[in-house]
Structure 1
Amino acid sequence: MSSTSAAAPARAIAPADLAYIAVFAALIAALSIVPPIPVGGFGVPITLQTLGVALAGLCLGAWRGTAAVALYVLVGAAGLPVFAGGTAGIGVLLGPTGGYLLAFIVSTFLLGLAAQAVLRRGVDRLTWLWLLLAAVAVRLAVIWPIGVAGIARATGGTVGDVWAVDLAYWPGDALKIVVAVLIAVAVHKAFPRLLGR
């Protein structure tokens, strides 16, 4: 059998996909270094980081959104000051915010899957509601428990104490989720083929 009859190579990643991944990783980095608001004594500030993470999943879908967030985390871990407050390095992943950073990767994948399912039929009057419910569910089921566990591990605090402090983030997170959903719906109205439907 000649080499030309061998199985076709795997489909290459399109340049546009790489551009989307890079742009959203940069967006998350830019939102992360906006001056944070310190909260409580656990060293986890309020930032716009979660807005960018939600937008990555809602706008790009599962694999591209996850790739953008993973790229952001890898670049920060490698030493570029893209984490909250301009921090960087492996130490950040091992510190109080590390649980949130890891949760962002998982949550983006799940939120991207939800966005793909909701937007499969296009944008209608209820699209914003379904995306909002998906974003809230991911916040409660993934980001909250992994983030709280990360703080408790890094600080030696009890889960109950950390949970009480984490409640301070919820109003801001709710606002960021609403903003992310509204932006994502507008983006998909303007670019209906963004998810490759």
Structure 2
Amino acid sequence: MERNLTHIALFAALIAVLGLVPKIDLISGVPITAQSLGIMLCGTVLGSKRGALAVLLFLALVAVGLPLLSGGRGGLGVFAGPSVGYLIAFPISAFVAGWVVERWSAPIGVASFAGAVLGGIVIMSVLGTIGMAVVLGKTLPEAALLAAPFLAGDVLKAGIAAAITQGLAKVRPAAVLSRA
């Protein structure tokens, strides 16, 4: 139990640290950040339940006002902005990424990439697009065009998440809880 709490807290901190990487602001008001890499890693390394809990802890800290989102954003106001769909998607994305790695017996690198793509790209893009459409008053196709610039970077982040997870599994297999 104590070990699980430590991992959950460490990965919530990892997401926060990845928020220190400078963001790239887009016209939609939703920035490109490195934090989605942390979401992917929560799932691929910690597994579905622990990964989602780490993200929920991170979001709880953001909600109480800590400036942990990229660009020093925090507080309840971020849950009413164009990023709301992505924020809602964060724990679901981590859960799905972890679920894929846990359930699929493919090599860890392949399963991690597939989990990161399904959770960290597909789930996050769908919910993020819906959130932007609602908040910005756009149609779904218009919001999808605003979300399109994220895709290339997200594929790169999925590859990085898979490589990190595979490397960790190689040097310290017990640390990859999604396969424990």
Give the TM-score of the pair, scaled to structure 1: 0.85
In structure 2, the residue corresponding to 1:187 is in which secondary structure? Answer: helix
Match of 1:97 among 79, 83, 100: 83
2:165 matched residue in structure 1: 184
Query: Comparing 78-87 with 30-39, which one deviates more in the overlay?
Result: 30-39
Match of 1:88 among 66, 71, 74: 74
Match of 2:21 among 34, 45, 62: 34
- Report % sequence identity: 37
Distance 2:81 2:158 in 1: 25
In structure 2, stretches of 5+ residues that fail to align are none
Match status 1:68 vs 2:54: yes
1:25 matched residue in structure 2: 12
Q: Residue type of the partner of 1:25? A: A
Match status 1:106 vs 2:92: yes
Match of 2:116 among 127, 131, 135: 135
Q: Larger Cα Rg: Structure 1 or Structure 2?
A: 1
In structure 1, stretches of 5+ residues that fail to align are 1-13
Distance 2:166 2:79 in 1: 32
Distance 1:88 1:96 in 2: 14
CA offset digits 1:74-116 (Å, max 9, x no partner)? 1001100001211011110111111101101111111111112
Q: 1:38 to 1:151 in 2, by over 3 A?
A: same
CA offset digits 1:120-163 (Å, max 9, x no partner)? xxxx7x43123212322224541111000111111112211111
In structure 2, the residue corresponding to 1:99 is in which secondary structure? Answer: helix
Contact in 1 for aligned 2:96/2:118 (Cα 8 Å): no
Q: 1:174 to 1:141 in 2, by over 3 A?
A: closer
Runs of 4+ in 1 over 4 A off after TM superposition: none
